[in-house]
Amino acid sequence: MSTPVVIDAHVDDEGVGVRLPRGAQDRPVDLVFDEQRIGSFWLERDTVERDGGRFWAWPGPLRSHLVGRTRVALVDHASSEELYAAEVVLGEPADAEQRVVVADAQGNPLGLDKSMRLMRLFADRSAEHLDPLLDSIEDVLAALRSCGVEAFIAYGTLLGAVRQGGFIGHDSDADLGYVSAHDHPADVVRESFRLQRALVDMGYPVTRYSGLAFKIFVQESDGTRRGLDVFGGFLREGVLYLMGEVGHPFEREWIWPLGTATLEGRELPVPARPEHLLVAMYGESWRVPDPAYQFETPAGTRRRLNGWFRGTRVQREEVWDPYYARKRGRSEDRPSDFVRWVRRRERRAVTAVDVGCGTGADVAFLARHGVNAIGLDYCRRAFARKQRKLARRDLPATFRWANLTEVRSTLVTGALLAREPGPKVVLARHLADATNADGRANLLRLARMVLGGEGRLYLQVLSAPAPGGDPLGVHPIDVDGLVAQVEASGGTVVARHDLAGERPGQTDPGATPYLCRLVVQWPQ
Amino acid sequence: MKNVLRQYRDQAGLARRVRELEAEVQECRSLNLRVAELTDLVAELLVPLAGSDDPRVVEILERYRAGVSDPAGPSPR
């Protein structure tokens, strides 16, 4: 049942349908469930045409919470006028009186941020909950200052401080930025590497997002672990480039000397003329609140930032991080047919390195057979569970974080693993067909370093679309091209098996092959 | 008609060239990150390693140096 107040709307299990008056100006509305603001969207921009009206589908993260009764309201963000309200029942609640709850396991209210992730938003937090975050911001700013860069609050945090002296209600995290004294992309990347090292030496865990941006994790006084994004920037030929969205004509005097602005009662560093940076970040209309703001980074800026700094997290955000976040707690991780096949051929191997080990099922299999088994993956979450389990059982298995799209990680990992006892074998199952060209080149480089001219690299890749659909994150690759790449690296493909299934014996001998196994060797 | 065809071919060719050039520019840009990574690695690892007293390290460095230097003795010219 819906009772239109100002606009004609309809709410059901799929989403929100609205009929806008002819000529109505597009505007952001807040979605409210029983007094709790859930998120915001623009009536035109963020909706799609459906049945002669506009339609906004429930974002994925919200769907699992949509069971029960609630009073849904659409509120004009600027005027706070309620445009629509109705009591609705969503999903199939067991109890007819059950209310919709959008909260985390501890009962803290959650809301949608501008990227449609369900987060604890600032609007739902009390001042005492903000204190630990403010302490963390000050700690990290001080740490960066001690490393020689003058960092300031950036993006939504800067916007909130300058516009209203506090956090923006619909934001969920704090951002920091700095502008390098260097003006060449390679130099600002080196500086960023140096900063990461210095911060790690100080005891801060850091994860890198690109050559010029990283996240610092801080243990807050209330026990939560929070990540603060630090975006690097630099001035080049009159343009300020700041990760991850800015490329705008800029003056040095607009940055230095840094000034201050008040954020929730604390004085924090900001650029000398913060309004210019806010124009660069949010456009001329930065003073007008837009809870559903979408960055419209010019293509030229995106190309430059991508070309200079990005490309080291191939498929992580898109595929693997969400996959392993969902997979947590599930246990379907049996050793592959591939590892059994390799084991039958390499019974003398003392050390095995599984590159792209995922959950570590193959590493566990090898360790159970007494092999010094080492799993490498760029998604630490993937193998964390198995790592704990195998450590408890005292099996000879170790796991290391390594990223094949970072040259530094590849070379230092290769150098360290070269010291492991031989005979050695390197395995990579559906890795060459999941990474990019840089990743493939570094995989060969790593294998060659680890093997040191003894032992073999075993690869399994998809050579054609798999009959039941390709495995997650994997795409068929040109095997002849891969063989040529092996030869260019000085290696030889000593065996090639084109298969129509993981277990060749059980498949129809006439079936079309779509899997390929390669065995590679390098001379001493 | 021929002119229209030629014009179309020229424009299609130009669009292809622009795509190729864009790809080549990106390729050049991405070298910045690689150069930074390699320089970082060398500065952070090679320099401390070179300070080691291990004779094998000295031998490797000397051998590497020999491979990037002019030959010893009088100049070939």
10-residue averages of pLDDT along chain A (524 residues): 65 94 88 94 94 93 94 92 95 93 89 88 82 91 95 97 93 94 95 93 91 90 80 97 96 98 97 98 92 88 95 92 76 86 97 97 97 96 93 94 94 91 96 96 95 95 93 95 96 96 68 94 92
Give B53 to chain A, closest Cα distance, Å. Answer: 19
Closest residue in B to A192 (Cα–Cα): B36
How much is the ipTM here? Answer: 0.73
Cα-based torsion angle of the residue sequence A398, A385, A447, A190 in order, rounded to the nearest 10 degrees: -100
Q: In residues, how long is chain B?
A: 77
Residue with tokens 């919200």: A62
Of A186, A304, A412, the CB nearest to B36: A186
A161 touches A266 (CB < 8 A): no
A-B contacts at Cβ under 8 angstroms? 59
Who among A185, A193, A303 is closest to B32 (CB)? A185
CA-based nearest distance A201→chain B, Å: 14
Which of the two residues, B2 and A163, has the higher pLDDT score?
Answer: A163
Question: What pLDDT, on a 0 to 100 scale, did the predictor assign at position B77?
Answer: 53
Q: Do A408 and B37 touch (CB under 8 A)?
A: yes
**DSSP H or E segment with residue A372:** strand A372-377
Give the rounded distance of the alpha carbon of A266 from its chain centre. Answer: 30
Q: Please answer yes or no on whether A308 and B33 come within 8 Å at the CB atom.
A: yes
Mutate to test the interface with B, among A189, A305, A313 (most CBs of B within 10 A): A189
What does the pLDDT read at residue B8? 83
Q: Read off the tokens for A76.
A: 């004009």
Nearest to A404 by CA among A357, A356, A448, A360: A356
State the Cα–Cα distance between residues A269 and A257, nearest whole angstrom. Answer: 10
Burial of A415 (C-beta count, 10 Å sphere; 0-12/13-18/19+): middle
Which of B22, B32, B41 lies nearest to residue A408, judging by beta carbons? Answer: B41
| pLDDT of amino acid B71 | 64
Does residue A477 contact residue A432 with C-beta atoms inside 8 Å?
A: yes
Within an 8 Å CB–CB cutoff, is residue A406 touching chain B?
yes
Contact status of A303 with chain B (Cβ, < 8 Å): yes
A110 exposed, middle or buried (CB, 10 Å; 0-12, 13-18, 19+)?
buried
Residue of A nearest to B25 (CA): A307
Task: Give, as one character, the DSSP assignment of residue A270.
Answer: E
Q: In what order do the strands lie in the sheet with A515-521?
A: A397-401, A372-377, A351-355, A424-429, A456-462, A515-521, A492-499
Contact (CB<8Å) B41/A306 = no
Round to whole Å and give the CA distance between A457 and A496.
12
